[in-house]
Structure 1
Amino acid sequence: MLELKAINKSFGDKKVIDNLNLEIPDGSILAIVGPSGGGKTTLLRTLAGLETADSGTFLLNGQAFDPANTKNQEQVVGVVFQDFQLFPHLSVRDNITLAPKMVLKETAEVYNQKAQHLAEQLGIESLLDQYPFQLSGGQKQRLAIARAMAMDPEVLAYDEPTSALDPELRQQVEQLILNLKTQGITQIVVTHDLVFAEHIADNILKVVPK
């Protein structure tokens, strides 16, 4: 279980996260819903260690940890960014295997097997030798998910996963997230789309701008 206790974050005089308490059970989906300016993305970036909380405690299975200082081999939250942040000069396979190779120091046999497994799991196994510019928006998103999962995070988080997708692709993303849930993957979804959140989430946290 991932727990947040009394988390606070400000930028100057603006309080973005105010004494937040959360519990995210293993295998569940939490949707964080609200308009821009409510702190959704800041919370996600803080969980991923890209921002530092001003105060409060993070716990994983009862053990305190600092998202900004976890060892790379112990990544807690893997993030699928809104713009995907893929490496355009690398193939699909190399996008997936780069971090396991460079950060986790896995062998070629291990990281290539992992890439093959994740690609099959996410339905992009026929695209491993293609490049991001050759992919559709939905395929890029699946690649971004595979790349995040390749680091073996405890929690998979998404920043506005449906913002640039048409209704058909939105439904595909919904099904993908629910399929990952059946595999026991804990997920956090930041979205402005309440209907989408209600379709996928076990729990919904609604935020409003301060």
Structure 2
Amino acid sequence: MLQIKGLNKSFGKKQVINQLDLDIPTGSILTVVGPSGGGKTTFLRILAGLETADSGVFTLDGQAFSPKDLKEHEQVVGVVFQDFQLFPHLSVFENITLAPKLVLKETKEVYTRKAEALAEQLGITELLNSYPYQLSGGQKQRVALARAMAMDPKVLAYDEPTSALDPALRQQVEEMILSLKKQGVTQIVVTHDLAFAKNIADNLLEVVPNN
């Protein structure tokens, strides 16, 4: 279980996260819903160690940790950001395997096997030799997810995974997230799409901007 107690974050005089307490059971899906300015993306960036919380305690299965101070090879939360952040000069295979190779120090045999297994799981096997400019938005999202999963995080998080997707792709994303849940993957989904959030959520958190 991922637990967050007393999380606070301000930018100047604007407090975007105020005394947030969350319990996220292992294998469950938490959706965080609200308009822009409510602190949803900031919350994900804190979990990923990209922003520093003003205060708050994080525990995973009873063990305290600091997202900002994790060692390179440790990753509690892997985040798939809205803009995917794929390296345009690298193939899909290279995007997926770069961090396992450089950070986890995996051998070529290990990271290749992992990339092929993730590609099969996410339906992108035929794209491994393609480059980001050749991919659709939905395909880029699956590559970004495979890249996050390749670091073996304990929790997967998504920033607006259905943004700018048509209804068919939106349905595919929903099915993908629910499929990962069946495999026991703990997931956090940040979205403005309330209907989508309700379809997938075990627990739903609605946030409003602090004025």
Q: Corresponding residue for 1:153?
A: 153
Unaligned runs of 5+ in 1: none
Q: Corresponding residue for 1:55?
A: 55
Structure 1 consecutive aligned stretches of length 4 or more whose deviation exceeds 2 Å: none
The C-alpha deviation readout for 1:47-76, integer Å capped at 9, x for no partner, is 111000101100011111000011122200
| Counterparts of residues 110-149 of structure 1 (less than 5 Å) | 110-149=110-149
The one-letter code sitting in structure 1 at the alignment partner of 2:78 is: G
Q: Corresponding residue for 1:36?
A: 36
Give the alignment's TM-score, normalised by structure 1: 0.99
The one-letter code sitting in structure 2 at the alignment partner of 1:5 is: K
Give the alignment's TM-score, normalised by structure 2: 0.99
CA RMSD of aligned residues (A): 0.5
The C-alpha deviation readout for 1:172-203, integer Å capped at 9, x for no partner, is 00000000101110000000000000000100
Q: Corresponding residue for 1:11?
A: 11
Counterpart Cα distance in 2 of 1:208 and 1:22: 16
Q: Corresponding residue for 1:80?
A: 80
Counterpart Cα distance in 2 of 1:50 and 1:206: 23
Q: Corresponding residue for 1:22?
A: 22
Identity of matched residues, %: 75
Counterpart Cα distance in 2 of 1:182 and 1:46: 27
The count of corresponding residues between Structure 1 and Structure 2 is 210
Counterpart Cα distance in 2 of 1:70 and 1:20: 21
The C-alpha deviation readout for 1:100-129, integer Å capped at 9, x for no partner, is 000000000000000000000000011111
Q: Corresponding residue for 1:183?
A: 183
| Counterparts of residues 89-100 of structure 1 (less than 5 Å) | 89-100=89-100
SS for the counterpart of 2:52 is coil
SS for the counterpart of 1:95 is helix
